Amino acid sequence: MPLDADRGQDRPDLLDPSELDALGGLEIIARAVVRGFISGLHASPARGFSVEFAEHRAYRPGDDLRFVDWKMYGRSDRFYLKQYEEETNLAAHICVDVSASMDWRSRPGLLTKLEYARRVAASLGLLLIRQGDLAGLICFAERVASSLPPRGTVAGWSELVRLLVEQPPGHLSAAAVALEDLAARKRRRGMVILVSDLLVEERATRRALRKLAHQGHEVLVFHLFDPGELELPGVGDALFVDPETGDELPASSAELRTDYREAVASAIDKWRRACGARGMDYHPITTDQPLGLCLGEYLHARARLG
């Protein structure tokens, strides 16, 4: 996405994610991305969202008038309530795949899928808390590697970031195990955000996602791709290696390119149809796309919960 220099400084959420390394560590990057995203909402001509992200929410019939922000009413001629932590009406679990296949990139200069997932999770967590909601974290590979219950404080978010930074990549991905465990524990209606390359046992994972949706949770799936996974390079003979099992397969990439392209398109279509049939949001994302895209998709899903 071409941006002029001044706009890039104001809107880190619209930059190539690899360009954000110059800002500093994960916490600094996430703060800059969320700040840029919120500034974009304030500048948007679409009414409604821009003020809700300043720790306010729209008035609904039956709300306690003691919490109406009358200054906001004077500026906008609309009723908004000051949002306090005890009024939080959403608890979100961000489930991040930290398996070996996530710790990969096709060429220098790109983020690995895991690095991208960390940035998505940290930014979403901060955005949730800025709304007055709760953000929790589950990191999983062959089992749940670390977790943090949903919290609505900046200190809780800092702990979430620390876990993301310190969590090393695992081996095989068993997304279904983590999601089934979450379904067994998460009784209150909320949101589940899965960030994964979906190199998983598909049937079991889809069954676990359906269970969460059936329980009334809003389910949002970010299917991460390295750009190199969408199209095989024309390099002639090559050795293909499974990063999780170590299995090797020599082949001619030129002969496989058409079949591979069709297989990727088919996989995306299957996931999109499987999620859509149950009212779940599904978004294929490449690791060179701006983080603001993920935040915007989250916002649309969040809006449906009211």
**Domain ranges across the chain:** 5-85, 86-305
pLDDT digits (tens, 9 = 90+) for 69-110: 777 777 777 777 765 544 446 899 999 999 999 999 999 999
Q: Do residues 130 and 51 lie in contact, with contact meaning Cβ atoms separated by under 8 Å? A: no
Contacting residues for 103 by C-beta, under 8 A, at least 6 apart:
112, 113, 114, 169, 243
Closest CA to 191 of 280, 91, 283, 95: 91
**Tokens representing residue 236 in the block:** 């002639």
Using CB atoms within 10 A of its CB, is residue 29 exposed (0-12), middle (13-18) or buried (19+)?
Answer: buried
Report the phi/psi class of residue 264: left, alpha or beta, with left for phi > 0 and alpha for psi in -120 to 50. alpha
- CA-nearest of 12, 4, 7 to 293 is 12
Per-residue pLDDT of the chain (306 residues; tens, 9 = 90+): 344 444 446 799 999 999 999 999 999 999 999 999 988 876 654 433 433 444 566 777 766 666 677 777 777 777 777 655 444 468 999 999 999 999 999 999 999 999 999 999 999 999 999 888 999 999 999 999 999 999 999 999 999 999 999 999 999 999 999 999 999 998 889 999 999 999 999 999 999 999 999 999 999 999 999 999 998 766 556 666 666 666 776 666 666 778 888 999 999 999 999 999 999 999 999 999 999 999 999 988 887 766
Take residue 91 and report the two structure tokens written for it. 């608890």
- Give CA–CA dist 297/197, Å, rounded: 17
DSSP code of residue 93: E
Q: What does CATH list as the number for 86-305?
A: 3.40.50.410
CA distance 157 to 151: 7
| Integer Cα distance of 286 and 284 in angstroms | 7
- CA 249 to CA 165: how far, in whole Å? 33
